[in-house]
A and B are shown apart, each in its own frame.
Chain A
């Protein structure tokens, strides 16, 4: 299960003028994604993912590794990121949100499906083309302690993208660019020669941001950029990302498990559960009127910093997330869903417009009464 069958050849250089491949040669994917329904839709997407599937093999045996199963990390994800917007991908551990980002950025190869970047199919680009693509996509990682090489100065960490791509060869030129970047992310340009350990967690994350911005990417992917930071520091990095986005017109994919942070940062949200998107739409719509019971459960689980509402306890989800190696049949949420009926274990619900501004994959979407029960609406 490596490259997808029926895949059209890569469309050449990403900045080239090859027309989009269209859906004509759409890959024959195993997952039940519907070619007609594109999550989000409309606008002019910078990135489009169609029927993304990533299965990691589960092997057994010491000398001879036999494949005994597949971990379905991502199992049929369609999404679009429009130019200049922030798309949030939210979900619990193991829902496939980071894997989805790694497929889109081509850090992982897809099992099936396609990734279109700026009208270009990049699913299988290789070598020189892939390297050129890397200039267009910047990435910020979760842990600012392990994502910076402790033996290199901050200057050389931030300049590394220039070195890799053979840009700004003059030493003075490069130093100027790095210092400019340091200033952009709110660090002292004089600290060019310091090492990562001389910086605090928040400052290190700024270094990570500077490195991601070095090549002026068009897409920035931030994978849990603040969850390793102290609470008093998180706002510094969140505000920085918002400012940079406004200033440079960046398109941002923001991955987090913290629903409050995602709401604050993102124009649109996609909620993932066990490798699928279960609900997506504009942030305001998703948070004001979640339709998928899983979205509702997530929102209702967030502790409220208001002791006067203490004791207003809500319906809680039971159990844990099932293993992605053996996900439940049909609707994957039916084993934990308080609303589940027989239909839910028999038929996979398509993701569709539920009339309140979001698309949800659910046979029995939440209504106002459910929201009251979840503590998301006043019962009046």
Chain B
């Protein structure tokens, strides 16, 4: 994929939960990597497995009865097989995580400073006074005014944006090499979201950490990510440098996401093209290509064949898991990107529905 040694490499990761109703295939064989100092954006809807995949990296699904297979290599060490004790030395230290809802991730009964010093002292052998000084420094770093006073306040005395800043401060406490941010701005207002995104970018520049940002918002990944992985129903369906995902997306699900959301930079009158149906249950995901029941271009054979994540012809870093011919995909996206409906695009691309014989041949 790339010459630089990846900081994190996830290989064929599978996470299953055994429930009363059956086996939930939350993560169904995903592979990705994160380079040092770079940002990977994982895009997907609720239930696409993006959060479970990231929690598994930190070993946080172990106690939920998850069955994990595959490899998670962090600087060459496999986190899947690593013992709990050793993993605890990495979690919150070399790899840190921030969550969507800062109010429920901060303990309401402890002062913010106390929670920060605890995060520091778990991993560092420093005195309380030193840890407190570091806590104040961290609060200043994330742009909280009057950090020396704020350190003695409780979470409820912080506004939503400041709580998320405090969470980021806590995540940064031990200079992590990798920060996993799970929907870090979803609970925030748009002006505060812009502040937090800018803060994360500044901190990345200053501290050189890699970031995995998990979100459903294409705008957020466009602003933050160097590379993007699009997840659907437990699988990565497309991964590429961010600019390519937006300029030349290959997967019909990615097309759907790009065309179904109103955007300020597009024509106001341009009709939205919804993705029909709704995301599948991971208890019984569709056979073959998981997206085929909602795909406008699906053929009968797509329900039988599992698409592999393959290199897009002519690209160096763009992978897609789609059963359509590459030529045809390009022929479809060009009218779609110009505002055509899926039916119009099919006509323009000379899309012929599979006949019984040709599907049998495949």
Residues of A within 8 A of B (CB): 92-93, 200-203, 230-236, 238-239, 257-261, 263-265, 283-284, 287, 297-308, 310, 313, 316-318, 320-321
**23 contacts across the A-B interface (CB closer than 8 A):** A92-B189, A93-B189, A230-B45, A231-B261, A232-B256, A235-B272, A239-B274, A263-B262, A284-B268, A287-B264, A301-B193, A303-B193, A303-B194, A304-B264, A305-B218, A305-B261, A305-B263, A307-B225, A310-B222, A310-B223, A317-B194, A320-B160, A320-B161
User: Can you list, as one digit per residue, whether each of B248-277 has a CB less than 8 Å from chain A (1) or not (0)?
Assistant: 000000001110111111001001111110
Partner of A313, one of B46, B198, B217: B198
Is chain B's binding surface mostly helix, strand, loop or mixed?
Answer: helix
State whether B191 touches A298 (Cβ < 8 A): yes
State whether A259 touches B190 (Cβ < 8 A): yes
State whether A232 touches B279 (Cβ < 8 A): yes
Chain B positions within 8 Å of A203 at CB level: 278
Bound CA span A263–B197, Å: 23
Bound CA span A202–B264, Å: 23
State whether A317 touches B262 (Cβ < 8 A): no
Chain A positions within 8 Å of B314 at CB level: none
Does B313 touch A at the CB level, under 8 Å?
no
Closest to A299 in B: B264
State whether A257 touches B189 (Cβ < 8 A): yes
Chain A positions within 8 Å of B294 at CB level: 232
Does B192 touch A at the CB level, under 8 Å?
yes
Does B231 touch A at the CB level, under 8 Å?
no
Partner of B278, one of A233, A297, A307, A317: A233
State whether B191 touches A264 (Cβ < 8 A): no
Bound CA span A177–B159, Å: 48
The 10 closest A-B pairs by CB, nearest first: A303-B219, A264-B262, A235-B274, A200-B278, A301-B194, A235-B272, A92-B189, A235-B260, A232-B275, A236-B274
State whether A260 touches B262 (Cβ < 8 A): yes
Bound CA span A287–B267, Å: 12
Chain A positions within 8 Å of B159 at CB level: 320
State whether A301 touches B190 (Cβ < 8 A): yes
Chain A positions within 8 Å of B258 at CB level: 305
Chain B positions within 8 Å of A320 at CB level: 159-162, 192
Residues of B within 8 A of A (CB): 45-46, 159-162, 189-195, 197-198, 216-220, 222-223, 225, 242-243, 246-247, 256-258, 260-265, 268, 271-276, 278-279, 294
Within the complex, the shortest CB–CB distance from B321 to chain A, in Å, comes to: 17
State whether A303 touches B216 (Cβ < 8 A): no
Chain B positions within 8 Å of A308 at CB level: 243, 246-247
Within the complex, the shortest CB–CB distance from B108 to chain A, in Å, comes to: 19
Within the complex, the shortest CB–CB distance from B33 to chain A, in Å, comes to: 19
Bound CA span A307–B227, Å: 10
Bound CA span A346–B45, Å: 47
State whether A261 touches B243 (Cβ < 8 A): no
State whether B218 touches A317 (Cβ < 8 A): no
Partner of B191, one of A236, A260, A297, A306: A297
Bound CA span A313–B205, Å: 15
Chain A positions within 8 Å of B273 at CB level: 235
Bound CA span A178–B67, Å: 46
A92 with B274: in contact, given A304-B264, A306-B222, A316-B198 (CB under 8 Å)? no
A303 with B197: in contact, given A264-B272, A283-B268 (CB under 8 Å)? yes
State whether A232 touches B222 (Cβ < 8 A): no
Partner of A264, one of B195, B197, B268: B268
- Centre residue among A93, A232, A260, A302 by max chain B CB count within 10 A: A232
Within the complex, the shortest CB–CB distance from A328 to chain B, in Å, comes to: 15
- Centre residue among A200, A201, A305 by max chain B CB count within 10 A: A305
Chain B positions within 8 Å of A307 at CB level: 222-223, 225, 242-243, 246
Closest to B273 in A: A235
Bound CA span A264–B272, Å: 9
Bound CA span A79–B165, Å: 37
A239 with B272: in contact, given A260-B264, A317-B195 (CB under 8 Å)? yes
Closest to A202 in B: B278
Partner of A234, one of B190, B220, B260, B279: B260
Bound CA span A49–B223, Å: 40
State whether A234 touches B189 (Cβ < 8 A): no
Bound CA span A235–B261, Å: 6
Closest to B278 in A: A200
Bound CA span A305–B45, Å: 17
Partner of B223, one of A201, A299, A303: A303
Within the complex, the shortest CB–CB distance from B210 to chain A, in Å, comes to: 17
Bound CA span A308–B256, Å: 20
Partner of B190, one of A257, A283, A313: A257
Within the complex, the shortest CB–CB distance from A296 to chain B, in Å, comes to: 11
Known: A231-B261, A264-B272, A305-B222. 12 other contacts (CB 8 A): A92-B191, A232-B256, A232-B274, A234-B274, A235-B275, A258-B190, A265-B262, A287-B268, A301-B190, A308-B247, A320-B161, A321-B189
A302 with B264: in contact, given A230-B216, A232-B257, A297-B191 (CB under 8 Å)? yes
Bound CA span A260–B256, Å: 17
Bound CA span A321–B188, Å: 12
State whether B190 touches A306 (Cβ < 8 A): no
Bound CA span A287–B265, Å: 11
Closest to A322 in B: B159
Bound CA span A152–B63, Å: 36
State whether B223 touches A263 (Cβ < 8 A): no
Chain A positions within 8 Å of B190 at CB level: 92, 257-259, 298, 301-302
Bound CA span A270–B262, Å: 19
